[in-house]
Amino acid sequence: MEQRVVFMFSGQGSHYYQMGEQLFNHNNTFREVMIELDGMVKKLIGESIIKKIYQKNKGMMDSFNRLIYTHPAIFMVEYSLTQMLIQKGIKPDCVLGVSLGEYSSATIAGILNVDEALESIIVQANAVERTCPAGKMLAVLGPFSIFEDPKVNQNSELVSINYDSHFVISGESRKLDKIERYLHNKGIYISRLPVLFGFHSSAIDPISQQFKNYLDYKSIQLPQIDFISGLYGEKMEQINTDYLWDVIRQPMKFSEAIRFLEDKCDHLYLDVGPSGTLSNFAKHHINCRSHSNTYSIMTPFKRELYNLKYFENEIIRERMGKR
């Protein structure tokens, strides 16, 4: 049985300057879609996201954290990469997004149209930047038992458990600063996500009613392909507008989503986010009896043309071998 293809979409924290630069310079489809989306964004914020992403004096390690730029930037590169793959004949059987990536996932599934998705994430970014207190998101590399420490769980909220030794917490900056120092002193490795607000925590509750009221006017369609929820960890036959708030407020269940898919059949998991993070996470939930595979195209190491060619060759080899 041929593997089902899953496109996976990541959210805030997966972005960086120059993401997708090789594709933008060398692939016509990717470039054309990026330019089309950039035109939509210009009408909404009066600025070019393409110019922001591909500033010549900015590198991967430079701080890139204004939501009004990073929100649409993530969506744009994910949507453009997906359209490029579809144009090459590589189509998803199902989609799986996490956090902001659920907007990309929902758009590819036909639940949202592209202009409404872009407008929604820009409205969200504006509201958070204007209203919410400064926050942080921390990836903790260690067992989940660390979160059971009252000094951790009483001052933060759980975002996700990505695998046995990797989880993410969120909250207001001053509380997360204390946790960071506390865990550092205990010799536990922590990585800050490049995000200035505490998504998936009460730190973004100040925009709840405002954003829900806005979402009430959005048109939600039934998915045209299997829509796997990163919020609930299972297939959704339909969603409502509250779902589009919950995906940035509630904990994520990416691990459960992969286990849900693995229980059904073998899959080819393709990370179409900017960093390849979800591909790495998914590997931890594929057991030795599975014939599933994971791949990523874009990573911070500027190897997307090589990765794309490798992936295409692997797909051809896999499908030829099953004839």
Residues assigned a catalytic role: 99
**How far apart are the C-alpha atoms of 153 and 139, rounded to whole Å?**
14
DSSP-derived 3-state class of residue 2: coil
| Distance set, CA 138 to CA 9, 109, 146 (Å) | 20, 30, 13
**How far apart are the C-alpha atoms of 154 and 152, rounded to whole Å?**
6
DSSP of 114-168: HHHHHHHHHHHHHHHHHHSPPEEEEEEES-GGGGGSHHHHTS-EEEEEEETTEEE
- For 55, the token pair is 């500033």
Residue 269 phi, psi (nearest 5)? -95, 115
**How far apart are the C-alpha atoms of 253 and 102, rounded to whole Å?**
12
Among 258, 234, 74, 305, CA closest to 163: 258
**How far apart are the C-alpha atoms of 6 and 226, rounded to whole Å?**
9
**How far apart are the C-alpha atoms of 154 and 256, rounded to whole Å?**
25
Question: Three-state SS string across 216-260, please?
Answer: CCCCCCCCCCEEEECCCCCEECCCCCCHHHHHHHCCCCHHHHHHH
Residue 203 DSSP symbol:
G
Nearest-10 crossing angle of helices 28-45, 67-87: 150
Residue 207 DSSP symbol:
G
**How far apart are the C-alpha atoms of 50 and 31, rounded to whole Å?**
10
